[in-house]
Amino acid sequence: MTTPPVPLNDGHAIPQIGLGTWPLNDAEAERVIQLALDIGYRHIDTAVRYGNETGVGRGIAASGVPRSQVFVTTKLDGPFQGEDRAVAGLDESLARLGLDYVDLLLIHWPLPGRDQYVSTWRTFERLQSAGTARSIGVSNFKPAHLERLAAETGVVPAVNQIQLNPTITRQDHVDYHLDHGIVTVSYTPLGRENAPLREPVIVDIATRLGKTPAQVILRWHVQSGFVPIPKSANEGRLRENLDVYGFELTRDDMVALYALDTGVGTDSDLKGH
């Protein structure tokens, strides 16, 4: 099983379905990454804050999959914001991962109270020019934060990674992304505690299609043009989450799923993961 690439605004591309690794520890990450890459995943998402970059790197190395075929994302959080702190932060991440570069480097949160995300972004631009980060982006940024980056630096992030699922659609964020060529990456794509899996509408669609509720939700992400990064340590669910390209949701199905939006999570709860 493989997933199609989604073009980024810098000429690179990101595999459409990735594997989230929070809250795996190093030992768990090493095992799961090897398994996932064997199944067909080619997009792995981690972060300094997750504390599992070493395990992720070991899993990639042990998998036998060529480095050029694995898309690796990591994120730098608060201690690496401001001045040139991201330089050392990425160096440390690369050392833990055992890699020469990451495919995507994200600012984990804007932390507007610190007012350092613009200077951090300028450091990210230099890291991209140096080749240690192929693409650069952000996570948990609101449209106002993205607008400020564009106005003050002229460089638009390749992606914005945000919490997104049919009950939290963040249409204002998605619309901004579409208007500015930013790819929407969905974390917690199946919802907190997998609550959307129990929605009667989703269960009914899954029953009709002979699919699982998780596959229906991930198909919704795919058809919406998002890049979901579901997380699981279970082999069956890893396979299931990747197997969403052999069917389509109808227009009515898509409308029904979007109608599940609760209106919650459009602004104040974007705090990261």
- Domain extent for 37: 5-193+221-245
Quickly state the pLDDT bin for 221 (edges 50, 70, 90): very high
Is residue 48 situated within a structural domain?
yes
Domain tally, the chain: 1
Give the number of other CB atoms < 10 A from CB of residue 29.
28
Alpha helix positions (H), 4-130: 26-39, 53-63, 85-97, 117-130
Position 1 confidence tier, pLDDT thresholds 50, 70, 90: low
> Considering the domain boundaries, does residue 47 fall inside one?
yes
Residue 271 has pLDDT above 60, yes or no: no
Instruction: Report yes or no on 170 lying in a domain.
Output: yes
In a domain? residue 115? yes
Mean pLDDT calculated for residue range 73-99: 97
Residue-level pLDDT at 143: 98
Among left, alpha and beta (phi > 0; psi -120 to 50; other), residue 246 is alpha
d(CA 77, CA 86): 9
Q: Is 50 a catalytic residue?
A: yes
Q: What whole-number distance in Å separates Cα of residue 56 and Cα of residue 31?
A: 9
- For 132-194, give the secondary structure using H, E and C: CEEEEEEECCCHHHHHHHHHHHCCCCCEEEEECECCECCHHHHHHHHHHCCEEEEECCCCHHH
Residues whose CB falls within 8 Å of the CB of residue 43, separated by 6 or more in sequence, listed in order: 3, 14, 15, 16, 17, 18, 19, 70, 71, 73, 227, 229
CATH number where 30 lies: 3.20.20.100
- pLDDT > 90 in the chain, percent: 93
**Single pTM value for the model:** 0.95
Predicted local confidence at residue 226, as pLDDT:
98
Q: How confident is the model at residue 131 (pLDDT cuts 50, 70, 90)?
A: very high
pLDDT of residue 267: 43
Q: Which of 41, 50, 176, 187 is catalytic?
A: 50
- Residue 260 maps to a domain: no
Confidence of residue 264 (pLDDT cuts 50, 70, 90): confident
pLDDT averaged over every residue in the chain = 95
Residue type at 85 in one-letter notation? R
200 within a domain of the structure (yes/no): no
**Is residue 267 in a domain?**
no
Q: What is the pLDDT of residues 16-71, one digit of tens each?
A: 999 999 999 999 999 999 999 999 999 999 999 999 999 999 999 999 999 999 99
Residue 268 covered by a domain: no
